[in-house]
Every structure is written in C-alpha cells, then in structure tokens.
C-alpha cells in the first residue's frame, strides 16, 4: 500500500503543521528569515537551494500566512515573517538545541542570548540570568564554539551571521 503524499486526512495538529513546514528546505527558509534574510536572491545563495524549489516554498509560506511578501527597496519584493511565522521561533529554537545536543560535539554552532541583559538563553527559551521567556525579537545570535572557521562561506548572509546580530533585524544589502 502506497503512503499518502499528505496529512490532510489526519486530525492531528502536528500533521497539519507538517503540511505547512515539513517539506525539505522550508524550515531553513524560515530560519534564514529569523536571521534577517528578506530577498529571494539572498535565500537562494545562502541556502544553495534550487530557485524553482525556493519559489514554491516561498509561495506556500505566503499562502499559509507564515510569511508576507512586501515591497522592498529597489523595486524588488521581499519576504518577512508574519506574526504567525514568528510564532515558529520556539520550535526552531528547540530543533537547534536538539541538533546541538546530538550532532555538535564541539558545542553549539550558534549561541543565543537575551538582548536585555546578555544572559544566555537555555534550551527552554528562558534567560539564564533573569528567567524571562525570551521572544525572537529579543534574541541575539552569535557564533558558538562549534562553528568551524574552516567551513566559512563568503556570501553576504554567511558574513552577516558570522558576527553577533539580533534576530528579525533585516540584513543590510
């Protein structure tokens, strides 16, 4: 018996969520949007994703209200996370933490801190200094001990996230 190609017939919130973000590349596009990527070309170069796939994923994310397509500078459209998309941050943060725990023997590739007090953000999303649950917009991401400098890339997204930066702030291009 062939497996179904979607989860539409399941009455499960996780299955429905996977319909939206479960395809290959989708969560990486969302992650890059948190990093401040907005332009189609920047997503394409940083992710090294086929342009047709990127087009399809962005259309789907816009159609589902996870991202908004907005006019950008220079007459080019840009993609920004909607309020619905920003609510994915705890899931992405948890997946990153899980990946660091099991697949980053030298430590996390990126560390998260609270913009308000520079406290480290734990896997549960709380600041280790003040105890607050830290929203994506109040999160600073910086290189961690597991970031291998020998695997550096020089596209503008990689250069921008090589240093410390606040999530959701647009990349300056």
Q: Tell me, yes or no, if the pTM score tops 0.85.
A: yes
Q: What are φ and ψ of residue 70, in 5° steps?
A: -125, 155
Q: How many CA atoms lie within 13 A of 160 on its CB side?
A: 21
Domain map of the chain by residue range?
13-85, 88-166
Q: Is 13-85 a domain of CATH 1.10.10.10?
A: yes
Task: Kindly tell me the burial class for residue 89, based on how many C-beta atoms sit within 10 Å of its own C-beta (0-12, 13-18, 19 or more).
Answer: buried
What is the pLDDT tens value at each position of the chain, 173 positions in all? 444 556 566 778 988 898 999 999 999 999 999 999 999 999 999 999 999 999 999 999 999 999 999 999 888 899 999 999 999 999 999 999 999 999 988 999 899 999 999 999 999 999 999 999 999 999 999 999 988 777 778 888 888 888 899 999 998 76
Give me the sign of the Cα torsion angle 110, 115, 119, 124. negative
């Amino acid at each position: 018996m062939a497996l179904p190609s979607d989860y539409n017939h399941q009455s499960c919130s996780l299955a429905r969520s996977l319909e939206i973000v479960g395809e290959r590349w989708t969560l990486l596009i969302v992650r890059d949007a948190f990093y401040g990527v907005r332009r189609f070309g920047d997503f394409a170069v940083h992710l090294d994703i086929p342009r047709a796939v990127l087009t399809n994923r962005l259309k789907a994310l816009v159609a589902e209200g996870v991202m908004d397509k907005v006019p950008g500078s220079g007459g080019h459209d840009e993609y920004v996370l909607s309020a619905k998309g920003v609510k994915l941050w705890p899931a992405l943060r948890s997946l990153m933490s899980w990946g660091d725990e099991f697949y980053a023997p030298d430590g996390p590739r990126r560390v998260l801190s609270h913009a308000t007090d520079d406290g480290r953000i734990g896997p549960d999303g709380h600041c280790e200094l003040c105890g607050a649950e830290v929203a994506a917009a109040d999160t600073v991401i910086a290189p961690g001990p597991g970031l291998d400098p020998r695997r550096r890339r020089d596209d503008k997204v990689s250069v921008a996230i090589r240093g410390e930066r606040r999530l959701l702030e647009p990349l300056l291009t």
